């Protein structure tokens, strides 16, 4: 199985918000409208006066059997300082089985004929999704330049 990834989007956001953990959880629910969600980490910790949480999740939108759009979000909520940091990474992932001669012919055909259209679709989807979630975050908080 050959796997290729094209890093298309990477950005970091930081904002001040009254309840950063609540916004992080609401953000996960909001992003569910754009594809399949898989929460990989949701940990809240405290050392007494300082409270914080880490929440990581993936957003996946499949284009076909071999290609999908993959967003990875890592959020850190400093509940004490009322800050939320979000790192977003998006890529188009391609995973085609490698086999004998027919598999190689298929792979070559897919990369030449199908993948360019998938890449365009992925780029448009990333623009649509990022525009929507940036608006969502701006409406919910006051961003801090980083």
Interval 63-109: pLDDT, tens: 999 999 999 999 999 999 999 999 999 998 888 877 666 667 888 88
Q: Which residue has the higher pLDDT, 6 or 39?
A: 39
pLDDT value of position 9: 87
pLDDT value of position 106: 82
Query: What is the C-alpha separation between 53 and 67, in angstroms, rounded?
Result: 32
Structure tokens at 70: 């993959």
pLDDT value of position 139: 87
pLDDT value of position 146: 46
pTM for this structure?
0.83
Residue 27 near residue 117 (C-beta atoms within 8 A): no
């Amino acid at each position: 199985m050959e796997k290729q990834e094209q890093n298309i989007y990477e950005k970091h956001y930081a904002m001040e918000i009254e309840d950063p953990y609540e916004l992080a959880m609401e953000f996960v629910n909001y992003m569910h409208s754009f594809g399949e969600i898989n929460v990989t980490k949701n940990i809240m910790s405290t050392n007494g006066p300082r409270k914080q949480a880490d929440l990581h999740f993936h957003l996946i939108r499949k284009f076909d059997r071999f290609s999908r759009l993959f967003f990875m979000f890592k959020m850190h909520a400093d509940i004490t300082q009322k800050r939320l940091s979000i790192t977003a990474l998006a890529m188009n992932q391609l995973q085609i089985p490698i086999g004998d001669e027919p598999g190689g012919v298929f792979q070559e055909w897919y990369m030449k004929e199908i993948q360019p259209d998938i890449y365009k679709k992925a780029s448009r989807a990333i623009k649509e999704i990022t525009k929507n979630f940036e608006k969502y975050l701006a409406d919910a908080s006051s961003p801090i330049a980083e």
